[in-house]
Amino acid sequence: MNGRGRMSIRRPVSIAGVGLHTGADATLTFRPAEAGQGVAFRRVDLADTLPIPALAAAVKTADRRTVLGNGDVSVDTVEHVLAAVAAHEIDDLWIDVDGAEVPILDGSAAPFFDLLEGAAIVCVGGEVRTFSISTTLSVRCGEAEYRVTPGSNTVTVTVDWDHPCIGKMTGSFQRAPGVFAESLAAARTFGFLHELDELRARGLIKGAHPACAVVLSRTEVVTGALRWPDEFVRHKVVDLIGDLALLGGRFDGTIEAVKPSHLGNVALVRAILDHNSTGA
């Protein structure tokens, strides 16, 4: 953690693409915010709508992706954007979107991370809000299991899929901008061909295309070379970092996660919030 005070950006920057689930074109713009504002989304395609705070209380669903909302207005698939914001330790930021879903781009957090870097990250003053853990905290949500302890801001994730290209993998990474840039940002989301019909029947992945994800058949990767042999576990670390941003502040502690999911990540965030509110 940097200790320089709250961080924002100096100038607006934009990026455009297609939403993974809606299939609709959208432009996302990061804009500077004043100290204490926090991170919040705005649906600029709609009139007279309230901002959507990037907080656990605003989660509408965490089924396969994280969706935030305020009243009847929502923004879909925010996790990669928030991972980039959190990795840069940005505390105050407007995120304007002219559609219902942020662009998926290449399926990683790298385009958002690089865009923010080009926006000139600056200190805007004010006190950083930090959440910590004073004892071991265990959380379970379905198959997802988490163990949080005081420590060195390391995230360790284990995935376990019955697939010849994945199997059981574990990756451990420090939560720091340099580590994120070099080892995590470019790790892409992934999916399986045999799930396509079921997901489309649920109204999802309307914007899926070969360049936005790692796609696997039952035996192999069908979308070209992986960026790392363990790209799958790296992307799950990215998702966890993005969902952890829903604390509304920075987190000081060590996380170990086994088979994490967006539902599990949000449950973890809520458990950390409860731990801090009760002074446990």
Q: Which residues are catalytic?
A: 262
Torsion region of 174: left, alpha or beta (phi above 0 gives left; psi -120 to 50 gives alpha): beta
Which residues is 145 bridged to in the sheet? Answer: 140, 258
Tokens of 275: 């731990």
Measure CA of the first residue to CA of the last residue in the chain; give whole Å: 22
What is the C-alpha separation between 120 and 79, in angstroms, rounded? 22
Give the 3-state secondary structure of residue 35. coil
Chain centre distance of CA 166: 21
Q: Is the dihedral of CA 91, 38, 112, 115 positive or negative?
A: negative
Tokens of 211: 């360049």
Give the 3-state secondary structure of residue 217. coil
Residue 183: C-alpha distances to residues 110, 140, 143, 155, 190 (Å)? 10, 27, 26, 13, 17
Helix and strand element counts for the chain (H, E): 6, 19
